[in-house]
Amino acid sequence: MADLTGKTIAFLMAGEGVEQVELTEPWSAVEKAGGTPRLLSVESGKVQAFNHLEKADTFDVDVVVADADPAAYDGLVLPGGVANPDALRTDQDAVTFVREIVDSGTPVAAICHAPWTLAEADVVRGRRMTSWPSLQTDLRNAGAEWVDEEVVVDGRLVTSRKPDDLPAFNEAMVELFAG
């Protein structure tokens, strides 16, 4: 497995609505590779994860995204769930953070509905990517080439469709972050 020792990876989510497994499994993969995950959110305190539509665990926020310096992170993970990226794409601080991360060349990993935030940040044009199938029209309209594949790596971006893709997503994500 690739080594992330000394690397700090941002995980960005809204106050609630993230699919818990799409947060916890990539988080664990980063830790197992020696990296330091940090939870960023739109507000301080705790965030609420979900198992589909049922409330799951809460997680402590490390940094409010409005106060986060994109240069402090060696990678960005955007977990899915429907409500999470839908809320993030309406938060200007979150959208700006994502755009600055992508523009700086920092690698990004997004799963499920998370590419909505990338589309809002206007950073998918000309990219080959995947997502939950219901986003394909949104991503195509934003200029991406959408494909139905388990995991897609396009330069400094890795995307996957759903929780079942997490093993392949995590492997590609860690390799990309190890760079």
Question: pLDDT tens digits for 64-94?
Answer: 999 999 999 999 999 999 999 999 999 999 9
- Supply 5's token pair: 């020792």
What share of the chain has pLDDT > 90, as a percent?
Answer: 98
165 C-beta neighbours (distance < 10 Å), count: 19
101 close to 121: Cβ distance less than 8 angstroms: no
Question: For residue 153, is pLDDT > 80?
Answer: yes
Q: Is the residue at 112 inside a domain?
A: yes
Q: Is the residue at 32 inside a domain?
A: yes
Q: What is the pairing mode between strands 145-146 and 128-129?
A: parallel
How much is the pLDDT for 68?
98
With 0-12 CB in 10 A as exposed, 13-18 as middle and 19+ as buried, what is 107?
Answer: buried
Chain centroid offset of residue 9 CA: 10
How much is the pLDDT for 41?
98
Q: Is the residue at 116 inside a domain?
A: yes
Question: For residue 63, is pLDDT > 80?
Answer: yes
Question: For residue 101, is pLDDT > 80?
Answer: yes
DSSP run (H or E) holding 160:
strand 157-160
Q: Work out how many domains the chain is built from and give that number.
A: 1
- Supply 23's token pair: 């947060």
**Residue recorded with tokens 């020696």:** 34
Enclosing domain of residue 83? 8-178
- Supply 69's token pair: 């310096």
Residue in 4, 77, 95, 112 annotated catalytic: 112
Dist CA 116 CA 139 (whole Å):
8
Mean per-residue pLDDT, 118-131: 98
Q: Is the residue at 3 inside a domain?
A: no
Mean per-residue pLDDT, 47-55: 94
Q: Is the residue at 2 inside a domain?
A: no
- Supply 49's token pair: 């994860």
Dist CA 113 CA 101 (whole Å):
19
Q: Is the residue at 104 inside a domain?
A: yes
Q: Is the residue at 77 inside a domain?
A: yes
Q: Report the CATH number that the domain containing residue 70 is assigned in CATH.
A: 3.40.50.880
CA-closest candidate to residue 108, choices 173, 152, 160: 173
Question: For residue 1, is pLDDT > 90?
Answer: no
Close Cβ partners of 148 (under 8 Å, ≥ 6 residues apart): 130, 133, 136, 161
pTM over 0.85: yes
Q: Among this protein's residues, is 112 annotated catalytic?
A: yes
Mean per-residue pLDDT, 32-59: 96
How much is the pLDDT for 65?
98
How much is the pLDDT for 93?
98
Q: Is the residue at 17 inside a domain?
A: yes
